Structure 1
């Protein structure tokens, strides 16, 4: 019998403003210790190998492209997340954010294992994710802010939370889970990948919920609200590229499954996150 996981959803954290940010951060730190200790190496991939071998070539090609996007994203942030921890304004906040760093490496390990054991190949190159690529400059800005005053540090953290927990995890990743379910999970395919996504989503429920909760509070400052709004609007066309690009694997182009509806799903999730922070619809 699988361990019952205590799910923390983004909605729970965004709506529950009765506790201080530090109290919430410490509660989430404790939950991460208790419930976030799943092992990527323990997920059974036996059925996935069989299912993948029996998929038609179009669905194989799309899945390799799709999972490459996840592996690239998880690995990229795992290697760059330290500034988010360092900019936390208290021990409690830094403690919770430190659990996110570990979890990003676990997510990376899961997808690396999936490529090796199920696909039997390396990830492909050329999957575009502009918002992920912009993390290089984001990290430089956040590190530079560590040497500045409290206002500059808070401003850098606001932008970092918007960029990563708000857009990358809160919109891109959450949309990806929906796409997997629509194309593969709803058909009973790839149960190991389904379990991996479920576990990752549990972790990211804590990440996204905490980040959005902080942004909702920080947006009470008009200067922060203006910058959050500007970043969300700046990044919207970039996140749509994730599902607008051609699906090319080893030089061959594959069709996008009709169930994906990527642009529609991304736009809907983007609007949801905007409402989470500002309580209103984005004017885009």
Structure 2
């Protein structure tokens, strides 16, 4: 693995992350960085290299874009399925859902800010490498949540070198993570900081989007390995023995019903930044278990 938490720190979740991309016809393929008056602030962000600029699409552009998206929409769906291959029998990962309806037309249909930030606010300090239009082609960015911090990491495609920490925030600086369902493959989240600023990110697949909100909202309790029972520890040892050497250390979560979910991410060769998620569900004794309604 290319990054480990501190010895006194618990890893809760790691997922791919990048600034989201507009989907409605007028904003398709675009993203903007806004202040509270909807001014474009990307030229004000310290240390950011120049990036692409976007314009709202005209009616003619919208019609052409709708036709094009009918052909292209399957591409990220296939990528998402590849990213979740290999789940064990009983895996909670479900089918890829369809796109939702806009919750905020002003931010999803008529405009598409991926940063909403007054001068000096926390959102303005997120790393520029989260922007697919700015970062090098071989750069892959991840979001990591621990019991103490929210971090952003960068790795290079095909590299085994240690990940670079691009930025980090204290856990208590994050006020909310909200799932934004009007997005390709339902994988967008809004991370809101305690000063009211926010960023909109795509985190790869709907399971990660849901889990991030559950963990930060307290609906799911993450467990340390030391909290597992003897039977659970034995079951996890067998689970890990079946994983390849490239697997990330598993994470453990206690679902609403009391069932324990164990998950491990494994990089796949099908594409950069894509992962298989292997998972098992077990009861307190380590025996296989089924999720209850509302667990996932």
Same fold? TM cut 0.5: no
Relative contact order higher in (CA < 8 Å, ≥ 6 apart): 1
TM bracket (short chain)? under 0.3
Higher helix share: 1
Q: What TM-score do the two structures reach when normalised by structure 1?
A: 0.24
Which structure would you say has the larger Rg? 2
